[in-house]
Amino acid sequence: MAVPSVHELILRRRSGRAIASDPVDRGTIETMLEAARWAPSSGNAQPWRFVVVDEQPALQEARNALKPGNKTWAASAPILLIICANPADDYDVNGQQLYLFDSGLAVQNLLLQGIHLGLVVHPMAGWDEDAMRQAIALPLPYRIMCVVAAGYPAPITVLSEELQKRETAVRSRKELAEIRYFNRWSS
Ligand SMILES: Cc1cc2nc3c(=O)[nH]c(=O)nc-3n(C[C@H](O)[C@H](O)[C@H](O)COP(=O)(O)O)c2cc1C
pLDDT recorded at residue 1: 79
pTM: 0.97
pLDDT recorded at residue 137: 98
The DSSP 8-state label assigned to residue 50 in this structure reads E
Pocket perturbation via mutation, ligand 1, pick of 6, 10, 15, 103 by most ligand atoms within 8 A of CB: 15
Q: How confident is the model at residue 112 (pLDDT cuts 50, 70, 90)?
A: very high
Average pLDDT, integer, range 1-17:
95
The DSSP 8-state label assigned to residue 94 in this structure reads S
Question: What are the domain boundaries of the chain?
Answer: 8-164
What is the atom index within ligand 1 of the atom nearest the CA of 74?
A: 11
Centroid of ligand 1 to alpha carbon of 125 (angstroms): 8
What is the atom index within ligand 1 of the atom nearest the CA of 17?
A: 11
Pocket perturbation via mutation, ligand 1, pick of 67, 73, 119, 124 by most ligand atoms within 8 A of CB: 124
Q: How many CB atoms lie within 10 A of CB 107?
A: 21
Q: From 180, 144, 184, 162, select the one nearest 47 (Cα to Cα).
A: 144
DSSP 121-135: EEEE--B-HHHHHHH
pLDDT recorded at residue 138: 98
The whole-angstrom separation of Cα 9 and Cα 19 is 19
The whole-angstrom separation of Cα 129 and Cα 88 is 19
Q: How confident is the model at residue 78 (pLDDT cuts 50, 70, 90)?
A: very high
Q: What is the mean pLDDT of the chain?
A: 97
Which of 3.90.1150.10, 3.40.50.1010, 3.40.109.10, 3.10.129.10 is the CATH number of 8-164?
Answer: 3.40.109.10
pLDDT recorded at residue 101: 97
Per-residue pLDDT tens over the stretch 11-48: 999 999 999 999 999 999 999 999 999 999 999 999 99
pLDDT recorded at residue 16: 98
Q: How many CB atoms lie within 10 A of CB 13?
A: 16
Please check the confidence at residue 84 and state whether its pLDDT lies above 90.
Answer: yes
Centroid of ligand 1 to alpha carbon of 154 (angstroms): 19
Portion of the chain with pLDDT greater than 90, in percent: 97
Average pLDDT, integer, range 65-93:
96
The whole-angstrom separation of Cα 69 and Cα 65 is 11
Please check the confidence at residue 170 and state whether its pLDDT lies above 90.
Answer: yes
Centroid of ligand 1 to alpha carbon of 102 (angstroms): 18
**Backbone angles phi and psi of 48, in degrees to 5:** -75, 150
Contact 42, 93 (CB under 8 A): yes
Centroid of ligand 1 to alpha carbon of 37 (angstroms): 21
Cβ-based neighbours of 128, under 8 Å, separated by 6 or more: 65, 66, 67
Q: How confident is the model at residue 187 (pLDDT cuts 50, 70, 90)?
A: confident
